[in-house]
A and B are shown apart, each in its own frame.
Chain A
Amino acid sequence: MVLQSSLKSCLQLSCILKTPKAGFRSTMSGGLIIQSISNDIYQNLAVEDWIHDHMNLENGQVLFLWRNSPAVVIGRHQNPWQECNLRLMRQKNIKLARRRSGGGTVYHDLGNINLTFFTARKKYERMENLKLVVKALKALSPQLDVHVTDRYDILLDGQYKISGTAAKLGRMTAYHHCTLLCNADKFVLSSVLRSPYKGIKSNATPSVPASVKNLFEEDPSLTCEMLLDAIAEEYATQHQIDHHITLVNPADETVLPGISNKTEELQAWEWVYGKTPKFSVSTCLNMVYKDSVIDVKVDLDVKHGRIEVCNIDLPEQWLPPALCSELVDSFTGSKFCPNEITTLATTLLRVCPQDDEMHSRWNLLCENMTRLM
């Protein structure tokens, strides 16, 4: 029964979005509420992209509801090394995504809901959207102390951030999206959003850290489904449309032609890491070797996620100078990525003189270098 209705909903969406021969997308009138059936961050970001690029919102608007399995999402102009603990994320298999809107870094998991308000560029109005959310929350749980700040955050009990906002403006359309913490894993959140990397100098947009709390902690009866439903209902009321949520499958090319290209683009290394604004790393490696600690000064310039300039200051003769310069030369142009550096260095080692001592020093240096990434 449920399956049937969701199928019906999907078809409805394709009717609205289907393009007649002339390449003319039908104009939205009124409003549309859609929800993604996927929990993949890249697919869902691709849907946002698709709607932004392809829907004509002159007379209508869209509310998009989505949730993701654990992922860290950085803003368009941010530096992931500055914002999160990439090492920990790799270990825990938490994905990293870069969204197209601005703003700071957030952590998503299934205990967090995401709302995107699509409007015509002229009707871009973040405050209204957030007030709508607050109204829906209060309708659901009247004793909740929630309000919107002038930084477009939603605070619980006057101090805990439960929602962050970001926006993207194009030529004709715009969207404003925000998160909402229902029962996310706060422990993981705080550990992944703390960067261990030192010595980074960058003009990338920094995030403003804030204490967070889950709505669930205030009102244990709340679930993500309830929140999504309440917000959809409020939206439907305000825009005088049917409280009907259309399900959308972000992998469906027939409904969303060109969507898989968008998903691929968002997953590509060139987008996620390569779009990091130029930055430099200036730090000191304290390498523990046998019974002593070796201080190695490292200076790197990273552009488009690749090492543009590399300077490693090793103690004299610790590594044969020819090999040292070989290593530095191979780092230059390489991705600022621990896997790349490890495979590169271990491969190069094959054509170096076979000296165990030298090999262990080489490996030590590389391991320490990868800790910067």
Chain B
Amino acid sequence: MRSSCRGAGRLVCIHRVRSCSSIRFIKSKYVCVFDKSALKFSHQQRLFRTSAVLCGQIVQFKLSDIGEGITEVTVKEWYVKEGDSVSQFDSICEVQSDKASVTITSRYDGIIRKLHYNVDETAYVGKPLVDIETDASKGVAPEEDVVETPPMSHEEHTHQEIKGHKTLATPAVRRLAMENNIKLSEVVGTGKDNRILKEDILNYLAKQTGAILPPSPKAEIIPPLPKSETVPAAPKDKAHKIPVSRPIVFSGKDKTEPITGFQKAMVKTMSAALKIPHFGYCDEIDLTQLVQLREELKPLAQLRGVKLSFMPFFIKAASLGLLQYPILNASLDESCRNVTYKASHNIGVAMDTEQGLIVPNVKNVQVCSVFEIASELNRLQSLGSAGQLGTNDLTGGTFTLSNIGTIGGTYAKPVILPPEVAIGALGKIQLLPRFNGKGEVFKAQIMNEASDCLKKKERKKEDLICYSVIRCIKSCHYRSILQNCKPKLSIACCEDARHKLKHQIIEQLFCFSKCKSPLGCSYQDLTALNCR
């Protein structure tokens, strides 16, 4: 529905109009009188936002000459649709001709009323491309958004001429400038063709007021206006006072997007995960020995091109624990009637990628050495960051470890990933003071570890699983593996003669698969070593 107007604009009814598919009532708000002279604001006037242009005059915007004698082009993309309002110099569409892509920009301010071509159709130079409804009155550029403000010449905020160049800014940007008494000529434009953008106005304001604006350009926060700096002339109407500090006007809009793809799948999985009754257990582990061991083994791994972190040790230790407590490497069926004890220890490692939480797993850890695990982990990590993990890498996991330590966290309460029954979360290793048996303080490398496991409703099973976790963690296996890990042969470290031998043995320990005891091997095996 359109507003009506009479003549060259003596008496005008301004209606609030919305052009949308459902029928809306026209609310007629205020009638106001204005003529050209009254365009300099006085505060008695209240002009309201109009979203439609007065007095439509349809202009056929023809496709202008492309150059090189080209007569026809293919329309490739429309940037506007019928009903959109455009400003002069806004992009309307993209056309292509013989390897040249051309952006067609609007010559007028107005509303798009008709698109003459569909995408992939041929458009002709000199023929109409779009119909734009413009404001009839000439001389004054159409002012669409007008707000009550301290006096500022109307003309200043239309097309300002600076050294023969027009200042480009959309009506919204002009309004923002006007509300804050900024002359567009003072602002540096960083947009296309030196166009002044919203960010430019905000930056200018920030410099003026010293206000710290939030980094996100999406929140249109307009800082409070300073007292007197930017007000040019004393307002004629004394009733209007500029407040000392205006409340910050936040005009950001909510944005709704559908959840698709991977995120949708994660929502499903996590919802299912949180339905599982959980039992959590947290503890602290002294890893001083492990830290030392890793330092010794790191260069050996590097020689083979493998980056050795702490994870391979934890993974191996977890697997050794699972050997003793296979219920933690199990899966319950949907009806919670049957437990399947999985033979392979496919231990998943949670990775945080751009997409979200991905959990690839290392297969058959029960038969891998720490070194093999480290190597496989490297492979998974590089594929993960390149976004190239395969289905085999991402399925078949039976137990998961999640490392919060890498992002600096010390505590965590992880969520079990179905169809598994348990998950371990590892915090950061920190150097902390602890008391030993004699009451002396010593330095210890401490890590907080939290596990979660399935808590079954049946009394018996519940006890079994939870108890397993506690035993597994606390008593002999997981924790003690890590706490007590040192090379089985601890040849005195300062003896030069045996130094070389010690390193060779450590190397062999490191590389052996089918470890018979935590991280080491039996003495019989050692005697069969090849010394280099």
Interface residues of A (CB under 8 A from B): 19, 21-25, 53-54, 75-77, 90, 93, 100-104, 121-122, 124-126, 152, 165-172, 174, 203, 205, 257-258, 277, 306, 330, 332-335, 338-340, 342-351, 353-354, 359, 363, 366-367
Which of A22, A169, A350 contacts B419, CB < 8 Å?
A: A350
Enumerate the 6 nearest inter-chain pairs by beta-carbon distance, A residue then B residue, closest first: A334-B261, A333-B260, A102-B101, A103-B99, A346-B394, A167-B100
- Cα distance A157–B105 when bound, in Å? 42
Give the most central of A54, A104, A122: most B CB within 10 Å. A54
Residue of B nearest to A127 (CB): B68
The interface bits of chain B over 66-91 (1 if a CB of A lies within 8 angstroms of the residue's CB, else 0) are 11100000001100000000000100
Q: Which residues of B contact A166 (CB under 8 A)?
A: 99-101
Q: Which residues of B contact A342 (CB under 8 A)?
A: 389-391, 394
Q: Which residues of A contact B97 (CB under 8 A)?
A: 102
Q: Which residues of B contact A174 (CB under 8 A)?
A: 67
Residue of B nearest to A123 (CB): B67
The interface bits of chain B over 383-412 (1 if a CB of A lies within 8 angstroms of the residue's CB, else 0) are 000111111101110000000000000000
> Do B188 and A121 touch (CB < 8 A)?
no
The interface bits of chain B over 316-353 (1 if a CB of A lies within 8 angstroms of the residue's CB, else 0) are 00000000000000010110000010000000000000
> Do B395 and A346 touch (CB < 8 A)?
yes
Asked whether B19 is an interface residue with its Cβ less than 8 Å from the other chain, the reply is: no
Interface residues of B in 169-220 (CB under 8 A from A): 185-194, 196, 200
Give the most central of A21, A93, A306, A346: most B CB within 10 Å. A346
Question: Are A277 and B76 also in contact (CB < 8 A) when A124-B67, A347-B269 are?
Answer: yes
Q: Which residues of B contact A349 (CB under 8 A)?
A: 395
Q: Which residues of B contact A90 (CB under 8 A)?
A: 386, 388
B417 to chain A, nearest CB (A): 6
- Cα distance A344–B395 when bound, in Å? 11
- Cα distance A198–B102 when bound, in Å? 31
Asked whether B165 is an interface residue with its Cβ less than 8 Å from the other chain, the reply is: yes
> Do A126 and B68 touch (CB < 8 A)?
yes
- Cα distance A326–B412 when bound, in Å? 32
Question: Are A168 and B101 also in contact (CB < 8 A) when A53-B193, A54-B194, A351-B272 are?
Answer: yes
Q: Which residues of A contact B305 (CB under 8 A)?
A: none
- Cα distance A184–B100 when bound, in Å? 25
> Do B167 and A343 touch (CB < 8 A)?
no
> Do A77 and B167 touch (CB < 8 A)?
no
Question: Are A100 and B101 also in contact (CB < 8 A) when A53-B193, A77-B96, A121-B67 are?
Answer: yes
Asked whether B268 is an interface residue with its Cβ less than 8 Å from the other chain, the reply is: yes
Question: Are A19 and B265 also in contact (CB < 8 A) when A53-B193, A367-B391 are?
Answer: no
Q: A102-B97, A343-B358, A367-B390 are in contact. List 7 more A-B contacts (CB 8 A).
A: A22-B188, A101-B101, A333-B261, A339-B387, A343-B265, A346-B395, A349-B395
Asked whether B103 is an interface residue with its Cβ less than 8 Å from the other chain, the reply is: yes
Interface residues of B (CB under 8 A from A): 66-68, 76-77, 89, 94, 96-103, 105, 119-120, 162-163, 165, 167, 185-194, 196, 200, 258, 260-262, 264-266, 268-269, 272, 331, 333-334, 340, 355-356, 358, 386-392, 394-396, 417-419
Q: Which residues of B contact A205 (CB under 8 A)?
A: 96
Residue of A nearest to B357 (CB): A347
> Do A340 and B355 touch (CB < 8 A)?
yes
Which of A23, A77, A345 contacts B194, CB < 8 Å?
A: A23
Which of A23, A167, A338, A351 contacts B187, CB < 8 Å?
A: A23
- Cα distance A335–B259 when bound, in Å? 12
Which of A121, A170, A277, A366 contacts B119, CB < 8 Å?
A: A277
A3 to chain B, nearest CB (A): 30
> Do B269 and A101 touch (CB < 8 A)?
no
Residue of A nearest to B420 (CB): A350
A219 to chain B, nearest CB (A): 28
- Cα distance A205–B268 when bound, in Å? 39
Q: Which residues of A contact B419 (CB under 8 A)?
A: 350, 354
Give 7 CB contacts A-B under 8 Å.
A22-B186, A24-B162, A76-B101, A102-B96, A167-B100, A333-B261, A347-B268
- Cα distance A25–B163 when bound, in Å? 11
Q: Which residues of A contact B102 (CB under 8 A)?
A: 168-170
- Cα distance A203–B121 when bound, in Å? 11
Which of A21, A76, A333 contacts B188, CB < 8 Å?
A: A21
A80 to chain B, nearest CB (A): 16
- Cα distance A161–B44 when bound, in Å? 72
> Do A165 and B99 touch (CB < 8 A)?
yes
Q: Which residues of B contact A19 (CB under 8 A)?
A: 188
Residue of B nearest to A278 (CB): B119
Which of A77, A343, A348 contacts B77, CB < 8 Å?
A: A77
- Cα distance A172–B99 when bound, in Å? 19
> Do B258 and A167 touch (CB < 8 A)?
no
Which of A101, A168, A344 contacts B264, CB < 8 Å?
A: A344
B384 to chain A, nearest CB (A): 10
> Do A167 and B388 touch (CB < 8 A)?
no
- Cα distance A170–B165 when bound, in Å? 17
B329 to chain A, nearest CB (A): 14
Q: Which residues of B contact A348 (CB under 8 A)?
A: 265, 268-269
Residue of A nearest to B200 (CB): A23
Which of B96, B190, B388 contacts A339, CB < 8 Å?
A: B388
Q: Which residues of A contact B94 (CB under 8 A)?
A: 76-77
> Do A330 and B265 touch (CB < 8 A)?
yes
B218 to chain A, nearest CB (A): 14
Q: Which residues of B contact A257 (CB under 8 A)?
A: 190
Residue of A nearest to B191 (CB): A53
A47 to chain B, nearest CB (A): 15
Q: Which residues of B contact A340 (CB under 8 A)?
A: 261-262, 355
Give the most central of A25, A75, A335, A349: most B CB within 10 Å. A349
Which of A25, A333, A339 contacts B389, CB < 8 Å?
A: A339
- Cα distance A90–B167 when bound, in Å? 45
Q: Which residues of B contact A76 (CB under 8 A)?
A: 76, 94, 96, 101
Q: Which residues of B contact A23 (CB under 8 A)?
A: 162, 167, 185, 187-189, 194, 196, 200
Which of A171, A172, A363 contacts B391, CB < 8 Å?
A: A363
Question: Are A353 and B334 also in contact (CB < 8 A) when A100-B101, A168-B100, A334-B262 are?
Answer: yes
Which of B103, B163, B191 contacts A171, CB < 8 Å?
A: B103
Q: Which residues of A contact B269 (CB under 8 A)?
A: 347-348, 350-351
> Do B392 and A363 touch (CB < 8 A)?
yes
> Do B391 and A346 touch (CB < 8 A)?
yes
Give the most central of A54, A165, A350: most B CB within 10 Å. A350
